[in-house]
Amino acid sequence: MALIVVDHPLAQHLMATLRDRTTPAHLYRAACTELSRLLIFEATRGLPLTERRIHTPLEETTVRQLVAPPAVVPVLRAGLGMLGAALELFPDAPVGFVGLRRDEHNFTPARYYCKLPPLAGRDALCLDPMIATGGSAEEALKLIQAEGPRSLTMVAVVAAPEGIDRLAKAHPGVAVFCAALDRELNARRYILPGVGDFGDRLYGTEEA
Protein backbone atom coordinates (compact mmCIF):
# COMPACT_ATOMS: atom_id res chain seq x y z
CA MET A 1 0.00 0.00 0.00
CA ALA A 2 1.29 3.46 -0.92
CA LEU A 3 0.91 6.26 1.64
CA ILE A 4 1.30 9.75 0.17
CA VAL A 5 1.42 12.63 2.64
CA VAL A 6 0.73 15.85 0.73
CA ASP A 7 3.10 18.35 2.33
CA HIS A 8 2.34 21.34 0.08
CA PRO A 9 2.67 24.58 2.12
CA LEU A 10 -0.99 25.45 1.53
CA ALA A 11 -2.05 21.99 2.70
CA GLN A 12 -0.09 22.44 5.91
CA HIS A 13 -1.54 25.92 6.42
CA LEU A 14 -5.06 24.51 6.10
CA MET A 15 -4.19 21.67 8.48
CA ALA A 16 -3.24 24.29 11.07
CA THR A 17 -6.73 25.79 10.75
CA LEU A 18 -8.35 22.38 11.22
CA ARG A 19 -6.20 21.55 14.25
CA ASP A 20 -6.86 24.84 16.08
CA ARG A 21 -9.56 24.32 18.70
CA THR A 22 -10.71 27.95 18.31
CA THR A 23 -11.64 27.58 14.61
CA PRO A 24 -15.43 28.08 14.26
CA ALA A 25 -17.53 25.64 12.23
CA HIS A 26 -17.92 27.87 9.15
CA LEU A 27 -14.16 28.36 8.83
CA TYR A 28 -13.59 24.68 9.58
CA ARG A 29 -15.86 23.72 6.68
CA ALA A 30 -14.10 26.16 4.36
CA ALA A 31 -10.66 24.81 5.29
CA CYS A 32 -11.92 21.24 4.84
CA THR A 33 -13.17 22.03 1.33
CA GLU A 34 -9.95 23.76 0.28
CA LEU A 35 -7.74 21.01 1.68
CA SER A 36 -9.91 18.30 0.14
CA ARG A 37 -9.54 19.96 -3.25
CA LEU A 38 -5.75 19.84 -2.94
CA LEU A 39 -5.74 16.22 -1.79
CA ILE A 40 -8.12 15.03 -4.51
CA PHE A 41 -6.10 16.91 -7.14
CA GLU A 42 -3.01 14.96 -6.07
CA ALA A 43 -4.88 11.67 -5.72
CA THR A 44 -6.17 11.77 -9.30
CA ARG A 45 -2.89 12.31 -11.15
CA GLY A 46 -3.05 8.76 -12.51
CA LEU A 47 -6.50 8.94 -14.10
CA PRO A 48 -6.47 7.59 -17.67
CA LEU A 49 -6.66 9.99 -20.60
CA THR A 50 -7.76 9.61 -24.19
CA GLU A 51 -6.76 11.66 -27.23
CA ARG A 52 -9.05 13.36 -29.73
CA ARG A 53 -8.75 15.90 -32.49
CA ILE A 54 -10.31 19.35 -32.09
CA HIS A 55 -10.20 22.72 -33.83
CA THR A 56 -8.83 25.64 -31.83
CA PRO A 57 -9.64 29.16 -33.11
CA LEU A 58 -6.41 28.92 -35.15
CA GLU A 59 -5.81 25.29 -36.19
CA GLU A 60 -6.56 21.64 -35.66
CA THR A 61 -4.73 19.92 -32.80
CA THR A 62 -4.75 16.84 -30.59
CA VAL A 63 -5.96 17.19 -27.00
CA ARG A 64 -6.06 14.78 -24.07
CA GLN A 65 -9.18 14.36 -21.97
CA LEU A 66 -10.34 12.12 -19.15
CA VAL A 67 -11.74 8.78 -20.24
CA ALA A 68 -14.30 9.12 -17.44
CA PRO A 69 -14.54 10.95 -14.13
CA PRO A 70 -13.89 8.88 -11.02
CA ALA A 71 -16.74 7.68 -8.86
CA VAL A 72 -16.73 9.35 -5.45
CA VAL A 73 -17.81 7.60 -2.25
CA PRO A 74 -17.80 9.64 0.98
CA VAL A 75 -18.11 7.82 4.31
CA LEU A 76 -20.98 9.34 6.29
CA ARG A 77 -21.14 11.73 7.91
CA ALA A 78 -17.74 13.44 8.03
CA GLY A 79 -16.86 12.43 4.46
CA LEU A 80 -19.62 14.73 3.22
CA GLY A 81 -17.33 17.63 4.11
CA MET A 82 -14.99 16.48 1.31
CA LEU A 83 -17.65 15.77 -1.30
CA GLY A 84 -18.17 19.36 -2.46
CA ALA A 85 -14.51 19.69 -3.42
CA ALA A 86 -14.66 16.43 -5.38
CA LEU A 87 -17.70 17.59 -7.33
CA GLU A 88 -16.10 20.95 -8.06
CA LEU A 89 -13.25 19.08 -9.74
CA PHE A 90 -15.44 16.39 -11.33
CA PRO A 91 -18.99 17.80 -11.71
CA ASP A 92 -20.28 14.72 -13.54
CA ALA A 93 -18.79 12.16 -11.13
CA PRO A 94 -21.20 9.47 -9.94
CA VAL A 95 -21.56 9.52 -6.15
CA GLY A 96 -22.17 6.72 -3.67
CA PHE A 97 -22.48 6.73 0.10
CA VAL A 98 -21.35 4.41 2.87
CA GLY A 99 -22.78 5.00 6.35
CA LEU A 100 -20.73 3.64 9.25
CA ARG A 101 -21.20 4.25 12.96
CA ARG A 102 -18.45 3.58 15.50
CA ASP A 103 -19.31 1.53 18.59
CA GLU A 104 -17.78 3.57 21.42
CA HIS A 105 -17.35 0.46 23.59
CA ASN A 106 -15.35 -1.78 21.28
CA PHE A 107 -14.46 0.82 18.60
CA THR A 108 -15.71 -1.36 15.73
CA PRO A 109 -17.71 0.08 12.79
CA ALA A 110 -21.35 -0.82 12.25
CA ARG A 111 -22.81 -0.27 8.78
CA TYR A 112 -26.21 1.43 8.60
CA TYR A 113 -26.29 2.52 4.94
CA CYS A 114 -24.67 1.67 1.62
CA LYS A 115 -25.67 2.96 -1.80
CA LEU A 116 -23.08 2.71 -4.58
CA PRO A 117 -23.25 3.61 -8.28
CA PRO A 118 -22.05 1.10 -10.90
CA LEU A 119 -18.29 0.82 -10.29
CA ALA A 120 -17.14 -2.04 -12.51
CA GLY A 121 -14.11 -0.91 -14.51
CA ARG A 122 -14.26 2.65 -13.16
CA ASP A 123 -11.75 4.54 -11.01
CA ALA A 124 -13.09 5.27 -7.54
CA LEU A 125 -12.24 7.57 -4.64
CA CYS A 126 -13.22 6.86 -1.03
CA LEU A 127 -13.42 10.02 1.09
CA ASP A 128 -13.09 9.91 4.88
CA PRO A 129 -11.31 12.73 6.75
CA MET A 130 -9.87 10.59 9.54
CA ILE A 131 -8.19 7.18 9.52
CA ALA A 132 -7.89 6.37 13.22
CA THR A 133 -8.14 2.65 13.96
CA GLY A 134 -8.76 2.09 10.26
CA GLY A 135 -11.88 0.03 10.94
CA SER A 136 -14.32 2.28 9.10
CA ALA A 137 -11.94 2.80 6.18
CA GLU A 138 -11.33 -0.94 5.92
CA GLU A 139 -15.06 -1.68 5.82
CA ALA A 140 -15.81 1.09 3.31
CA LEU A 141 -13.00 -0.02 1.01
CA LYS A 142 -14.22 -3.63 1.20
CA LEU A 143 -17.72 -2.60 0.11
CA ILE A 144 -16.36 -0.54 -2.79
CA GLN A 145 -13.86 -3.21 -3.88
CA ALA A 146 -16.67 -5.76 -4.09
CA GLU A 147 -18.16 -3.75 -6.97
CA GLY A 148 -15.06 -4.24 -9.16
CA PRO A 149 -13.57 -0.76 -9.72
CA ARG A 150 -10.56 -0.43 -12.02
CA SER A 151 -8.70 1.39 -9.26
CA LEU A 152 -9.50 2.54 -5.74
CA THR A 153 -7.86 5.39 -3.82
CA MET A 154 -8.46 6.51 -0.24
CA VAL A 155 -8.40 10.26 0.44
CA ALA A 156 -8.20 11.39 4.08
CA VAL A 157 -7.18 14.53 5.93
CA VAL A 158 -5.30 12.99 8.84
CA ALA A 159 -4.28 9.43 9.70
CA ALA A 160 -2.79 7.51 12.61
CA PRO A 161 -0.05 4.88 12.17
CA GLU A 162 -2.36 2.21 13.62
CA GLY A 163 -4.98 2.84 10.94
CA ILE A 164 -2.46 2.93 8.12
CA ASP A 165 -0.95 -0.37 9.28
CA ARG A 166 -4.40 -1.95 9.29
CA LEU A 167 -5.19 -0.75 5.77
CA ALA A 168 -1.81 -1.92 4.50
CA LYS A 169 -2.71 -5.45 5.60
CA ALA A 170 -6.37 -5.41 4.52
CA HIS A 171 -6.07 -3.42 1.27
CA PRO A 172 -2.45 -3.49 0.06
CA GLY A 173 -3.41 -2.32 -3.43
CA VAL A 174 -5.13 0.89 -2.28
CA ALA A 175 -3.12 4.13 -2.20
CA VAL A 176 -3.87 6.53 0.67
CA PHE A 177 -3.49 10.30 0.29
CA CYS A 178 -3.61 12.51 3.38
CA ALA A 179 -2.24 15.82 4.67
CA ALA A 180 -0.83 14.49 7.95
CA LEU A 181 0.30 11.23 9.51
CA ASP A 182 -0.04 11.90 13.22
CA ARG A 183 1.68 10.32 16.23
CA GLU A 184 -0.73 7.80 17.72
CA LEU A 185 -4.18 7.00 19.08
CA ASN A 186 -5.23 7.71 22.65
CA ALA A 187 -7.21 5.31 24.88
CA ARG A 188 -10.49 6.46 23.28
CA ARG A 189 -9.00 5.83 19.82
CA TYR A 190 -8.81 9.50 18.90
CA ILE A 191 -5.85 10.65 16.82
CA LEU A 192 -3.10 12.60 18.60
CA PRO A 193 -2.44 15.48 18.13
CA GLY A 194 -5.34 15.23 15.68
CA VAL A 195 -8.20 17.63 15.07
CA GLY A 196 -10.82 16.39 17.54
CA ASP A 197 -14.06 14.86 16.29
CA PHE A 198 -14.09 15.87 12.62
CA GLY A 199 -17.83 15.48 12.10
CA ASP A 200 -18.76 17.40 15.23
CA ARG A 201 -16.44 20.25 14.37
CA LEU A 202 -17.58 20.28 10.75
CA TYR A 203 -21.24 20.63 11.66
CA GLY A 204 -20.98 22.51 14.94
CA THR A 205 -22.40 19.67 17.04
CA GLU A 206 -19.65 19.53 19.66
CA GLU A 207 -20.79 19.42 23.27
CA ALA A 208 -20.05 22.63 25.16
pLDDT tens digits along 5-50: 999 999 999 999 999 999 999 999 999 999 999 999 999 999 999 9
In this predicted structure, the answer to whether residue 162 has a pLDDT above a threshold of 80 is yes
The pLDDT of residue 105: 67
Whole-angstrom Cα Rg for the chain: 18
Rounded to 10 degrees, what is the CA torsion of 69, 175, 165, 182?
A: -80
pLDDT bin (cut points 50, 70, 90) of residue 206 is confident
Q: How far is CA 206 from the centre of its chain?
A: 22
Per the model's pLDDT, the better-predicted residue between 141 and 109 turns out to be 141
The pLDDT of residue 108: 77
Region of poorest pLDDT, from 59-63, 81-85, 149-153, 184-188 = 184-188
In this predicted structure, the answer to whether residue 208 has a pLDDT above a threshold of 60 is no
Residue type, 200: D
The pLDDT of residue 15: 98
Residue 91's region, left for phi above 0, alpha for psi from -120 to 50, else beta, is: alpha
Region of poorest pLDDT, from 8-17, 105-114, 176-185, 193-202 = 105-114
Please, where are the H alpha helices in 20-159? 25-43, 80-89, 135-145
In this predicted structure, the answer to whether residue 101 has a pLDDT above a threshold of 90 is no
In this predicted structure, the answer to whether residue 128 has a pLDDT above a threshold of 90 is yes
Please calculate the CA angle 123-129-132 and round it to the nearest 5 degrees.
110
Any idea which architecture 3-203 has in CATH? 3-Layer(aba) Sandwich (3.40)
Q: Cβ(69)–Cβ(44) under 8 Å? A: no
Residue type, 59: E
Helix (H, G, I), strand (E, B) or coil at 95: strand
User: Of the candidates 11, 164, 1, 192, which has an alpha carbon nearest to the alpha carbon of residue 85?
Assistant: 11
What whole-number distance in Å separates Cα of residue 6 and Cα of residue 1? 16
98 forms bridges with which residues in the sheet?
Answer: 75, 114
Over residues 191-200, the mean pLDDT reads 95
In this predicted structure, the answer to whether residue 120 has a pLDDT above a threshold of 60 is yes
The pLDDT of residue 107: 66
What would the DSSP string read from start to end of 133-199? SSHHHHHHHHHHHTT--SEEEEE-SEE-HHHHHHHHHH-TT-EEEESEE-SEE-TT--EES--S-HH
What whole-number distance in Å separates Cα of residue 173 and Cα of residue 148? 13
Q: Cβ(176)–Cβ(154) under 8 Å? A: yes
